[in-house]
Amino acid sequence: MKTYAPSLQQWLVRNAALVNGAAAPLLVVAILAMMVLPMPTWLLDTFFTVNIAIALMVMMVAAYMIKPLDFAAFPSVLLLSTLMRLSLNVASTRIVLLEGHGGPGAAGAVIEAFGHFLIGGNFAVGLIVFAILVVINFIVVTKGSERIAEVSARFTLDAMPGKQMAVDADLNAGLIDEKEAKRRRAEVAEEADFFGSMDGASKFVRGDAVAGILILVINIVGGFAVGMFQHDLSAGKAADTYILLAVGDALVAQIPGLLISVAAAMVVSRVGKDRDIGGQIVSQMFASPRVLGVTASILALLGIIPGMPHIVFLLMAAVLAWGSWAIAHRPPPPEPAVEPPKAVHDGEASWDDLQPVDLLGLELGYRLIALVDKTRQGDLLARIKGVRKKFAQEVGFLPPAVHVRDNLELKPSSYRITLRGVVAGNGEAYPGMFLAINPGGISTPLIGTATTDPAFGLPAHWIDEPQREAAQMAGFTVVDSETVMATHLSHLMQVQAAKLLSRTETQQLVDHVARLAPKLIEEVVPKMVSIGSFQKVLQLLLEEGVHIRDIRTIVESLAEHAGTVSDPVELARRIRIALSPAIVQQIYGPVRELNVIAIEPNFERLLVQALGNAGGSALDPSMADMLSRSAATIAQQQEEQGVPACLLVPDAIRNAIAKLVRRLAPRLQVLGHSEIPETHTIRIGPILRGALA
């Protein structure tokens, strides 16, 4: 009977989480052990080699990463690698001072190799080389990366609010779902944390360079004293032995430190998130044949000057000239195949020539056609799909498909949204540019074209890509042209939801409910309420911004009242009472105390007398206009204070008041007394007063 012991590889696979979690603590323990415990030379050589390998790996990861967060562990790696180099310096110092009198190989093969092969056994040359490396590392690389990290951390923190608002704008426009919004918000927070950590971690690199200088000086002085006073070596012999070992030890630590410093500089100096740094350099420096051609010409002129190294200059000029020619004659990428236009037949007119009016359409100027062309990375169609999906999830029915087509009669960068063939909204968008929207209170000037946000009428500027970060840091909400159009479409669909609910969508909604609750819908539609009446009731709710997502409650309320009430307006009023918790939550959110606008009592009695009759048309036109303007003013004041604008009126006049104020204050919600749930309390805020008050 055989038993099979699991292999090491299988054990590592099964216990990967345990191994990964223990890696960092074990490394810290090993670092502390190297500082305290004596080590044999072979183990010291092993750790020196590991240190160099880690520095090379960090350098390669920094070179091939696409965005800074791909190497989010870099600040921790920087700390641990710095501690490892310092612990190796302590361990090597111990061996150099204890065993240095035994010869150049007493401190290990790695230090001996750096002391003899790299600097030729001349400690003076070694000191000069070490000083140059320290100058490069400390003054050039470390100082520059430290400044970049500091500025990046400050700019990233300043840009956080703008980036978060851009995520919220995409979420509200239906371009992303809640899961993607959470991921993007977490990425923004992680990016800020990363650059903040890099700002502090850059001090490790700077401190490492200073420590390298001090350790070298201490090793030289200490080794010179130990050699002369403990081992009776002459001054020349002690200097030749111990200084050479100290310089070799310093170079062994300084070269990996320089690699780590360069890696840190590459991480914090990255711009762009589309490719690695090598791809960026090649694509941006060697993409223009003109640049290579001019450079080749200058080198050729230098090469023919008497006294210059002709061969080297002319050879390099020839290489660059060949590169310029090769790039200039590179074949263009193949264009997508275009279908030939269909032949037009001259014939009699037919019913096929009559095109139905689009229920919902989007017409584009010719410069915006690229936004719907997938071969040009246009994603407007995908965003429109997201808008329709979000609308269905929030409002409660699937809107009609958006028919997108070009219109050469429009300006090149213009678009317009049509509803049943009538223009419902229009605007302009500029592909490749960004719209910086001022949410209010920002006075920072921007270089761009002043305009207004087409969806909400906020002041905005069209800006170029280089100004995007600065605008976000100033607090502007920055979105691209596709988001501008998608947000405008989403806003119009919300406002015109009642007109989007045609008989076709109503029947589809009934069929959908029939699959979920067949018995419920069979008893009500069409037995008690016809499809037409059902559509009218739903449209009355949508006209006042009431979502019909809770279709079960709507159908149950119809089943309760349709037997005695046939007027769609009265049915809609009773359904609003049944939906009151959802309506209040839609306006106020989860709060329990509702801040409402009230009407002055005398003015309210006058309105009840004038509008409480069946016709509801006895109100004087001037008073109706005054009521609408006063309501619009108070609603605007409430919105500026960040408080929902909601007017509380008696039930008898709620419908009439809602119709009166809808023209000038479309975002003002009007609630009746019976529409306040018993679980909520009200707090009277502004008072709407009449001329007689």
Domain final position from 450, 475, 496: 496
Question: d(Cα 4, Cα 321) in Å, to the nearest integer?
Answer: 65
Range of the domain at 294: 286-328
**With contact defined as beta carbons under 8 Å apart, do 654 and 670 qualify?**
yes
pLDDT at 358 over 90: no
Mean pLDDT within 103-122: 65
Q: CA 526 to CA 531: how far, in whole Å?
A: 6
Confidence check: pLDDT of 386 > 70: yes
pLDDT tens digits, 223-267: 778 777 777 777 777 766 777 777 777 777 777 877 877 777 777
Residue type present at position 672? G
Helical (H) or strand (E) element with 15: none
Q: Are residues 68 and 143 in the same domain?
A: yes
In this predicted structure, what is the pLDDT of residue 3? 46
CATH at residue 567: 1.10.8.540
How much is the pLDDT for 103? 60
Centre a 10 Å sphere on the Cβ of residue 38 and count the other Cβ atoms it contains: 11
Q: Which of 61-65, 96-100, 375-379 is the most confident on average? A: 61-65
**235 and 88 housed in the same domain:** yes
How far is the C-alpha of 570 from the C-alpha of 139, rounded, in Å?
A: 80
- Number of structural domains the chain divides into: 5
One domain, residues 517 and 609:
no
Mean pLDDT (the chain, rounded) = 80
Most confident among 7-11, 347-351, 440-444 (mean pLDDT): 440-444
Residue 191 counted as domain residue = no
Task: Give the per-residue pLDDT at 571.
Answer: 92
pLDDT for position 4: 44
Tokens at residue 412, please? 């090149």
- Quote the pLDDT of residue 310: 78
Last residue in a domain, options 478, 496, 514: 496
Reported as a single tens digit per residue, the pLDDT across 456-497 is 888 999 999 888 888 888 889 899 999 999 999 999 999 999
Is 60 in the same domain as 209?
A: yes
Asked whether residue 527 falls in the same domain as residue 617, the answer is no
pLDDT score recorded for residue 516: 83
Of 444, 468, 496, the domain-final residue: 496
386 vs 222, higher pLDDT: 386
Give residue 428's pLDDT: 92
Residue 380: pLDDT over 90: no
Predicted confidence (pLDDT) at residue 687 exceeds the cutoff of 60:
yes
> Both 141 and 217 in a single domain?
yes
What mean pLDDT do residues 94-121 have? 67
Q: Could you tell me if residue 177 is inside a domain? A: no
Instruction: Dump pLDDT digits (tens) for 270-326.
Output: 665 656 666 767 777 777 788 888 888 888 888 888 877 878 888 888 888 888 888
> pLDDT tens for residues 499-545?
999 888 898 888 888 888 888 888 888 888 888 899 999 999 999 88
pLDDT at 460: 92
Q: Does pLDDT of 41 surpass 50?
A: yes
Contact 28, 80 (CB under 8 A): yes
Q: How confident is the model at residue 107, as a pLDDT?
A: 63
In terms of domains, do 81 and 221 share one? Answer: yes
The pLDDT of 102-123, averaged and rounded, is 65
Looking at the structure, tell me whether residues 490 and 531 fall in a common domain: no
**Cα distance between residue 164 and residue 479, in whole Å:** 12
Residue 384 in any domain: the answer is yes
- Provide DSSP, 256-285: HHHHHHHHHHHHHT---SSS-HHHHHHHHH
Q: Which is nearest to 653 in space by CA: 669, 629, 671?
A: 671
pLDDT at residue 436, as a whole number:
92
Q: Is the pLDDT of residue 416 over 90?
A: yes
% of the chain beyond a pLDDT of 70: 83
Residue 490 maps to a domain: yes
Residue range 431-442: mean pLDDT, rounded: 87
Average confidence (pLDDT) over 575-588: 91
| Confidence band, pLDDT 50/70/90 cuts, at residue 82 | confident
- Whether the per-residue pLDDT at 353 is higher than 70: the answer is no
The proportion of the chain whose per-residue pLDDT surpasses 90, expressed as a percent, equals 15
Q: For residues 686 and 612, state if they share a domain.
A: yes
Q: Is 48 part of a structural domain of the chain?
A: yes
Whether 390 is covered by a domain: the verdict is yes
Sign of CA dihedral 655, 659, 660, 665: positive
Rounded Cα gap, residues 205 and 212, in angstroms: 11
Please determine, for residue 614, whether its predicted confidence score (pLDDT) is greater than 60. no
Compare 576 and 253 and report the one with higher pLDDT.
576
User: What is the arithmetic mean of pLDDT over 418-444?
Assistant: 88
pLDDT reported for residue 671: 93
Asked if residue 141 and residue 264 are part of one domain, the reply reads yes
Based on the domain organization, do 612 and 559 belong to the same domain?
no
Please check the confidence at residue 627 and state whether its pLDDT lies above 90: no
Instruction: For residues 646 and 639, give the distance between their C-alpha atoms in angstroms, rounded to a whole number.
Output: 10
Q: Are residues 527 and 619 in the same domain?
A: no
With respect to residue 515, please indicate whether it lies within any of the assigned structural domains: yes
Write out pLDDT tens, residues 548-570. 989 989 999 998 988 888 889 99
H-type helices in 230-360, by residue range? 235-238, 244-268, 277-285, 289-303, 310-328
**DSSP sequence for 156-182:** HHHHHHHHHHHHHHHHHTTSS-HHHHH
Q: Specify the CATH number for the domain of residue 618.
A: 3.40.50.12790
Region of poorest pLDDT, from 106-110, 203-207, 517-521:
106-110
Q: Rounded to whole angstroms, how far apart are CA atoms 143 and 556? A: 72
